[in-house]
Amino acid sequence: MLNQNDERPSADSLSRRSFLEAGSVALAAAALGGASLSAQQPSATSPNASGSNPGQENLPLLKENPSSNTPPRTDRGDIGPIWYSFDLNHKRLENGGWTHQVTQRELPPSRDLAGVNMRLTAGSFRELHWHTADEWAYMIYGSARVTVLNPDGTIQIEDVSKGDLWFFPAGFPHSIQGLASDGCEFLLVFDEGFFSEENTFSISEWVAHTPPEILEKNFRLSSSELSKLPTRELFIFPAALPQSLEHDRQSAGGPSAVSPIQYIFRAGSMPPTKSSPQGEVRIVDSRNFPASKSVAAGIVTLKPGGLRELHWHPTAAEWQFYIAGSGRMTVIAPGGRARTMDFNANDVGFVPTAAGHYIENTGSSDLIFLEMFKLDQFLEFSLNNWIRRLPPEMVSAHLNLDASSISRIPAEKLAIL
């Protein structure tokens, strides 16, 4: 799970917890001067002794998750898993690309959304197929040509690149093909927690399992022609690069066959919904991307030290995907429960419905991540905004802050601080 720029610790390097313990012992020795060695060691009831681990440790994992293994004092109780990583899961490697997924099987609280990370080399196809779930996608790298067919026979054929989105409704047949020079990589998000890429309706499997005489009647082709059909699922496979976009559109029927619905959204070129010197947020939902009726998303960039302010989403759980950088999130749930975890590129985060949380950039480069919800509109409450919309006397009674302190809390929803 290490990022490419991280160095693996040597076998005799100290874990963060061991380092903290050693540092505390050194400070104690300096303070006590000539005290004996036994007096310098932490007592059995001290915090350092409570957190120490004299046995085996997975040092790379400790390095990736310091806030879980040495949690802040504000953490308490158990709210269930809020972290997983695509790099922990099996990768299906095909001739032409690969895919792996994080679903409710890996992240049990995530009942609404599941994610698939996929790579296609130049020319390679994710074959013609459809799903029982809506498909929302974010282009991470490179470029691809996508197609999607409407029930009325109209079709959209489009080239997409880094930062672009698409939304394909459940049951609508579609395809994805990597373009020059290095194909593409993208994230797919489905509005079913137990979705699986293994349960896709594929054109290759359909024809492979239909009696030949039925195919002859349906396609009006001879048996010799049909003998060339695939006999198993193609899934991901290499092919020649396509001709021009205009050529493909004309081959599909020209202007009369063009879809009246836009299933592509150029999120990378839209202005930020919220921005500050510390970062920016782009909100994409059915209000500016009408086709996306079941997935709403925030595309967030946090500068080093930037904070996604304390907030909550009232009606849906949040499924996150981390694209770049490193950060930390604390989730606060009823009953005084709180959990803090660290996140890096290719990790998935989860926030239960209506749970308070924040995300902080803890690294030296931009933290970029996606927030996704099974909703048609992005909904959010800001803790600062709530506090400032109340009479100051009411806030003082609850938080013991005087009027001067309350007045310095930001009054508007800033998203990023």
Q: Confirm whether residue 100 is marked as ligand binding.
A: no
Using omega within 30 degrees of 0 as the cis cutoff, is the peptide bond preceding 181 cis?
Answer: yes
Q: Is the pLDDT of residue 182 over 80?
A: yes
Distance, CA of 81 to CA of 178 (rounded, Å) = 34
Report how far residue 112's alpha carbon sits from residue 226's, in angstroms, rounded to the nearest whole number.
41
Token pair recorded at residue 79: 């709210």
Check whether 209 is labelled as a binding-site residue: no
- Tracing tokens 């076998």 back to the chain, one arrives at 11
List 64, 197, 371, 380, catalytic entry: 371
Residue 69 confidence (pLDDT): 86
Q: Give yes or no for residue 15 having a pLDDT over 90.
A: no
Confirm or deny that 311 is annotated as ligand binding.
Answer: yes
CA dihedral 221, 124, 323, 320 (to 10 degrees): 20
Query: Per the annotation, does 247 bind a ligand?
Result: no
Residue 313, annotated as binding a ligand? yes
Q: Residue 385's closest CA among 355, 415, 360?
A: 415
pLDDT over threshold 70, residue 20: no
Q: What is the pLDDT of residue 9?
A: 42
Structure tokens at 412: 């508007």
229-234: long-range contacts at Cβ-Cβ below 8 A with a sequence spacing of 24 or more? 230/204, 232/204, 232/205, 232/208, 233/127, 233/202, 233/204, 233/205, 233/208, 234/125, 234/127, 234/202, 234/204
What pLDDT does 22 receive? 38
CA 240 to chain centre: 31
What's the pLDDT score for residue 47? Answer: 52
The 3-class secondary structure across 159-213, one letter per residue, is EEECCCEEEECCCCCEEEEECCCCCEEEEEEECCCCCCHHHCEEHHHHHHCCCHH
Query: Is the distance from CB of 381 to CB of 312 less than 8 angstroms?
Result: yes
135 annotated to a ligand binding site: yes
- What pLDDT is stored for residue 7 in this prediction? 42
What pLDDT does residue 161 have? 98
Cα 189 from Cα 115, distance rounded (Å): 4
pTM of the prediction?
Answer: 0.87
Q: In whole angstroms, how far apart are CA 246 and each of 127, 158, 176, 250?
A: 21, 10, 17, 6
CB distance 102 to 114 below 8 Å: yes
Q: How far is CA 247 from the centre of its chain?
A: 35
Distances (CA, A) of 277 to 8, 63, 229, 267, 280: 33, 29, 57, 20, 8
What is the C-alpha separation between 314 and 231, in angstroms, rounded? Answer: 48
Task: Round to whole Å and give the CA distance between 151 and 144.
Answer: 23
The residue among 198 and 143 whose pLDDT is bigger is 143
Length of the chain: 417
pLDDT of 330 strictly over 50: yes
Rounded to an integer, the average pLDDT of 76-101 is 96
Grade residue 43 by pLDDT with cuts at 50, 70 and 90. very low
The answer to whether residue 1 scores a pLDDT higher than 60 is no
- The full DSSP string for 310-372 is EEE-SSS-EEEEEEESEEEEEEEETTTEEEEEEEETTEEEEE-TT-EEEEEE-SSS-EEEEEE
**Averaged pLDDT for residues 365-394:** 98
Q: Is the pLDDT of residue 218 over 90?
A: yes
pLDDT at 250 over 80: yes
Domains detected in the chain: 1-64 (no CATH), 90-265 (2.60.120.10), 270-407 (2.60.120.10)
Residue type, 187: L
Residue 371 annotated among the catalytic residues of the structure: yes
Residue reference for tokens 């493909």: 248
